[in-house]
Structures are given as C-alpha cells and as structure tokens.
C-alpha cells in the first residue's frame, strides 16, 4: 500500500462525491443546494487538479484534463452565484448553478472511471 496513492484516490473520489452531493436535489430549489457544499467541492477539485500535475503518462494527461474541465464549470457556477445572487430570480439562478455543477459531475465521473480503469489494469 502506498500512502501517496491513498491520498490521490481519496481526493479524486471526494471531488466527485461532494460534487454529486451538491447536484442532488430539485434543480430549482435553493433549499436543496447548500453553498458550503459547492465551496467544498471547488476546494477539493482544485486540490485534485494540483495532485495530478506533472504526470506525463497518457492517462495522467486525461486525468488532468477532466479535472480542469470540472474546475472550470464549478468556478463558473461560483462566479454566477457570487455576482448574481440577490439581483436575479433565485430559482432561475439555482437552475444555472446546479446544471453547471452537473456538467462538472460528468467530468468528475470520467476522472473516477479512469482511475478505476488504471487501478484494474495494474498487474501487481
């Protein structure tokens, strides 16, 4: 067992689960989507991205790109929330934010699938 691998896997899976937790619920109901969950999803996603830096293998490159895609969507959602809350219809705003986080969730799922595929292909 390798501690580095544990940490690496932990952050990638956590990024997906937090993202999923935020995404879960009615798409237009602000009560179902807590800002701290989005906040945690962004922070963990950023950490996962940095952990993926510097891996020159092909799988490493794809892992990094999925993380970058997730970051981009989550940060866009956060910017929308920060800039438009209070000035815009709350339900409509929530639809935008949750759908963006849904996109990020797809990227995170791909990331986890890749991680699993790589783990299974390991021979030892």
Query: Which of 47, 44, 26, 27 is CA-nearest to residue 36?
Result: 44
* Residue 6 sits in the site that holds another protein (CB under 8 A): no
Residue from the set 3, 31, 56, 87 that interacts with another protein by CB under 8 A: 56
Q: Looking at 17-25, 31-39, 87-95, 104-112, which segment touches another protein (CB under 8 A)?
A: 31-39
Task: Rule CB under 8 A: say whether 81 interacts with another protein.
Answer: yes
Does residue 78 belong to the site contacting another protein (CB under 8 A)? yes
Q: Which stretch binds another protein (CB under 8 A): 15-23, 46-54, 92-100, 113-121?
A: 46-54
Q: Which long-range contacts (CB under 8 A, 24 or more apart) does 34-39 make?
A: 35/81, 38/74, 38/77, 38/78, 38/81, 38/97, 38/101, 39/78
């Amino acid at each position: 067992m390798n501690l580095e691998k544990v940490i690496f896997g932990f952050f990638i899976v956590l990024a997906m689960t937090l993202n999923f937790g935020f995404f879960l619920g009615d798409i237009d109901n602000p009560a179902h989507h807590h800002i701290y969950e989005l906040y945690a999803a962004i922070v963990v996603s950023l950490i996962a991205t940095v952990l993926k830096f510097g891996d020159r293998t092909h799988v490493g490159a794809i892992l990094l790109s999925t993380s970058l895609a997730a970051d981009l969507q989550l940060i866009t959602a956060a910017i929308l929330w920060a800039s438009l809350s209070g000035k815009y219809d709350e339900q409509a705003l929530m639809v935008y934010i949750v759908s963006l986080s849904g996109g990020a969730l797809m990227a995170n799922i791909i990331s986890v699938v890749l991680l699993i595929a790589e783990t299974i292909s390991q021979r030892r």
